[in-house]
């Protein structure tokens, strides 16, 4: 054994062989790797330019007291936006604001503004919207993120539960959008983002009210997008898969009580920070409709339309499995 030029122990004659192998691999892989390297470089340049355009934009985020909304607040705050955070839980909004002000992001930032909002109180939404507009005299980006979920069968769910989900997830976002939209149309500039769900594209068992509300949100955003396309206002609909948040913990049961359990699918879901960054990119690039999910959700989405019989078979099997798990859990509790 001997030492090569950097002092590493090598077998005699092997150094030249490895160098030749690296050269051959480099020649073969370079045409494949180079386009990806260039794409990544130009992607970063584009995002940097877009982020400069985003600086000082006024961003209103609902449901910002936790989960994805909180991550969105961090993401847009670090991008130099003037953010307004809204939710029911004032103490949690204060915590989010404190966390944001403690960040050292190395760029110019603006103190977040807190305005309480209960999306279930539709009559109060126009008043809330005016308060939000009065802060900086405009809203550049509205992110309709606030919402709740459910864990119950369609049959067992009280109609009041169905109604509450539809009011919070759909009518609340619609009412706020209608209250903010005129100011955007007047300025001929603005962006409205709806946080839907993959379940707004295909429904799952035990989520009938939730899926219905997200289906409605998807349809509303599609219609609105076409109506304001030539008026300077952009509309983006985001359909995420499972995200590692407290959504299942805060979900409602059939009777309207808090579910209070962390689902396995939720606990193993995507990091909210990752989803928030993807949403920022979607808004920067003015994307119209995107899914942020794993391959399983994307497979289900395409199967629903390409091979519906297979999709329905899968969903029926899922419903049976969930039913068995529910029965087993009820026996345990007894």
Distance from C-alpha of 29 to C-alpha of 118, rounded to nearest angstrom? 55
Distance from C-alpha of 151 to C-alpha of 205, rounded to nearest angstrom? 9
Residue 232 near residue 286, CB atoms below 8 Å: no
What is the per-residue pLDDT across 103-161, written as a single tens digit (0 to 9) for each?
988 778 899 999 999 999 999 999 999 999 999 999 999 999 999 999 899 999 999 99
Structural Rg of the chain based on CA atoms = 24
Cα 154–Cα 147–Cα 289 angle in degrees, nearest 5:
95
What is the per-residue pLDDT across 274-333, written as a single tens digit (0 to 9) for each?
999 999 999 999 999 999 999 999 999 999 999 999 999 999 999 999 888 877 777 776
* Residues annotated catalytic, as ranges: 210
Distance from C-alpha of 113 to C-alpha of 84, rounded to nearest angstrom? 5
Q: Would you give the DSSP letter of residue 245?
A: S
Residue 68 near residue 276, CB atoms below 8 Å: yes
pLDDT over threshold 90, residue 59: yes
The pLDDT of residue 10 is: 44
Distance from C-alpha of 285 to C-alpha of 150, rounded to nearest angstrom? 33
What is 55-293's CATH number?
A: 3.40.50.720
Distance from C-alpha of 199 to C-alpha of 214, rounded to nearest angstrom? 7
β partners of residue 195:
238
Residue 293 near residue 239, CB atoms below 8 Å: yes
- Ranking 3-7, 120-124, 165-169, 285-289 by mean pLDDT, the lowest is 3-7
The pLDDT of residue 172 is: 98
Side-by-side strand order, sheet with 58-62 = 113-116, 82-87, 58-62, 141-144, 190-195, 233-240, 289-292
**This prediction's pTM:** 0.83
Which DSSP string corresponds to 221-233?
A: HHHHHHHHTTTTE
Residue 120 near residue 167, CB atoms below 8 Å: yes
Nearest to 88 by CA among 58, 57, 125, 59: 125
- Ranking 3-17, 108-122, 198-212 by mean pLDDT, the lowest is 3-17
For residue 56 the two structure tokens come to: 């000082």
**How large a percentage of the chain has pLDDT more than 90?**
67
């Amino acid at each position: 054994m001997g030492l090569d030029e950097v002092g590493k122990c090598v077998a005699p004659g092997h150094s030249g062989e490895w160098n030749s192998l690296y050269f051959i691999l480099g020649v073969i892989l370079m045409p494949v790797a180079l386009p990806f390297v260039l794409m990544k470089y130009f992607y970063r340049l584009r995002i940097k330019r877009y982020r400069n355009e985003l600086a000082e934009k006024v961003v209103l985020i609902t449901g910002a007291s936790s989960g994805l909304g909180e991550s969105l607040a961090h993401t847009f705050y670090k991008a130099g936006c003037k953010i307004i955070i809204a939710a029911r839980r004032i103490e949690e909004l204060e915590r989010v604001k404190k966390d944001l002000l403690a960040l050292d992001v190395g760029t110019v930032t603006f103190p977040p503004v807190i305005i309480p909002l209960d999306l279930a109180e539709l009559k109060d939404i126009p008043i809330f919207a005016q308060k939000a507009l009065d802060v900086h005299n405009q809203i550049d980006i509205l992110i309709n993120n606030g919402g709740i979920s459910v864990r119950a069968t369609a049959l067992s769910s009280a109609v009041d539960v169905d109604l509450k989900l539809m009011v919070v997830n759909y009518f609340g976002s619609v009412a706020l959008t209608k209250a903010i939209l005129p100011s955007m149309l007047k300025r001929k500039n603005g962006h409205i983002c709806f946080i839907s769900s993959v379940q707004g594209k295909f429904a799952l068992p035990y989520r009938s009210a939730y899926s219905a509300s997200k289906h409605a949100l998807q349809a509303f955003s599609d219609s609105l997008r076409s109506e304001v396309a030539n008026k300077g206002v952009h509309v983006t609909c985001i359909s995420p898969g499972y995200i590692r948040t407290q959504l299942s913990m805060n979900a409602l049961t059939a009777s309207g009580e808090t579910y209070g359990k962390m689902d396995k699918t939720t606990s193993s879901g995507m990091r909210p920070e990752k989803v928030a960054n993807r949403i920022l990119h979607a808004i920067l690039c003015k994307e119209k409709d995107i899914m942020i999910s794993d391959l399983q959700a994307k497979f289900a989405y395409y199967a629903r339309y390409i091979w519906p019989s297979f999709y329905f078979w899968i969903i029926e099997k899922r419903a049976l499995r969930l039913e068995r798990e529910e029965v087993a859990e009820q026996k345990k509790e007894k």
